[in-house]
């Protein structure tokens, strides 16, 4: 298996559970609070490691207890943490999450040390990228770092995966250096500049991005499955039904599974089926990294057990 390098965020997730989401100006009494290691980059790295991937994590935390917990969580899960730096005079990233009784979530992220990553930091770990097969990035670090990382990765001949979350418009220099883009419906709407009302709109928005240079796209649709789109083909994949408890990190789990399968030289059909199973397993448990399944869970996957 080829090694995977994840460049991205590490956050401590502070999760409150309430009956429903508060409206503007409303106070809601919650009935549970938990603390989970999270951050899209870290979540995806742990998902990969639990599925048997060889993973490097590149990112920053603060000199605080949250930072120590996040690094230890990654290390405990088998992720290489040698290139995670600690930033002085800056807090570790935090995500404030509300989960309602229907397992929907609303998230506010305070980036902290995640936004202290620089292009220089990436240049210092080019040997790590050079020794990797796949580089996975999200948008919870500065956009100039995303751009620089993608450019350098492609110069080194690496396969690049971008999860464009949280969504924002991307310039052509970023777009043309992406081998596989994995957005959800909201993200592809913003990136493609087309209001999404149907699967046909999703394909149209994706094809606009392909014309700009993206090689392939998988649009995740939650319980409705996913759509794989290239210049020449469009294929829909159904999701596995699950009794959802918490949807946090389901997208990260899906992306982690795709990366591991591709690092194992599996074809895209096998990669998407594996990712669909991993996503379904993830929503049946609470939290971000705590909900991510292991390879044995996927091997023993049975629809009726969800």
Rounded CA-CA distance 290/287 in Å is 5
Do residues 278 and 257 lie in contact, with contact meaning Cβ atoms separated by under 8 Å? yes
Peptide bond into 166 cis (omega under 30): yes
Rounded CA-CA distance 248/82 in Å is 27
Q: Catalytic pick from 252, 267, 273, 296? A: 252
Q: Is 297 a catalytic residue?
A: no
Do residues 120 and 147 lie in contact, with contact meaning Cβ atoms separated by under 8 Å? no
Do residues 125 and 137 lie in contact, with contact meaning Cβ atoms separated by under 8 Å? no
Look at residues 107, 98, 46, 9 and name the one whose alpha carbon lies nearest to residue 290.
46
* H runs (alpha helix) in 77-198: 119-123, 126-130, 143-155, 172-175, 185-192
- For residue 302, what are the contacts with CB-CB under 8 A and spacing of at least 6? none
Strand partners, 57: 6
Q: Which two tokens stand for residue 303?
A: 């629809």
- For residue 246, what are the contacts with CB-CB under 8 A and spacing of at least 6? 99, 103, 105, 283, 285, 286, 287, 291
Look at residues 173, 280, 172, 275 and name the one whose alpha carbon lies nearest to residue 218.
275
- For residue 64, what are the contacts with CB-CB under 8 A and spacing of at least 6? 91, 92
Q: State which H helix or E strand residue 201 sits in.
A: helix 199-212
The catalytic residues are: 252
């Amino acid at each position: 298996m080829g090694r995977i390098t994840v460049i991205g965020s590490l956050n401590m997730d502070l999760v409150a559970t309430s009956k429903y989401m508060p409206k503007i100006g409303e106070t809601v009494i919650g009935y549970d609070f938990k603390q989970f290691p999270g951050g899209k980059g870290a979540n995806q790295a742990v998902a990969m490691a639990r599925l048997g991937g060889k993973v490097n994590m590149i990112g920053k935390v603060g000199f605080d207890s949250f930072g120590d917990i996040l690094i230890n969580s990654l290390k405990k899960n088998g992720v290489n943490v040698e290139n995670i730096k600690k930033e002085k005079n800056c807090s570790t990233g935090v995500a404030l999450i509300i989960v309602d009784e229907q397992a929907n979530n609303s998230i506010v992220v305070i980036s902290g040390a995640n936004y202290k990553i620089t292009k220089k930091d990436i240049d210092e770990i080019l040997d790590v990228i050079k020794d990797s097969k796949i580089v996975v990035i999200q948008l919870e670090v500065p956009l100039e770092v995303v751009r620089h990382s993608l450019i350098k990765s492609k110069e080194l001949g690496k396969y690049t995966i971008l999860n464009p979350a949280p969504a924002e418009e991307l310039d052509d220099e970023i777009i043309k250096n992406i081998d596989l883009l994995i957005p959800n419906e909201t993200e592809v709407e913003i990136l493609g500049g087309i209001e999404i009302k149907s699967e046909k709109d999703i394909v149209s928005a994706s094809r606009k991005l392909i014309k700009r240079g993206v090689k392939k796209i998988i649009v995740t649709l939650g319980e409705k499955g996913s759509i794989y789109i290239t210049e020449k083909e469009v294929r829909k994949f159904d999701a596995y039904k699950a009794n959802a408890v918490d949807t946090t990190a389901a997208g990260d789990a899906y992306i982690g599974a795709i990366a591991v399968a591709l690092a194992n030289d599996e074809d895209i059909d096998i990669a998407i089926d594996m990712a669909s199973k991993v996503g379904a397993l993830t929503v049946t448990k609470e939290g971000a990294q705590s909900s991510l399944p292991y390879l044995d869970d996927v091997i023993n996957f049975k629809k009726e057990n969800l």
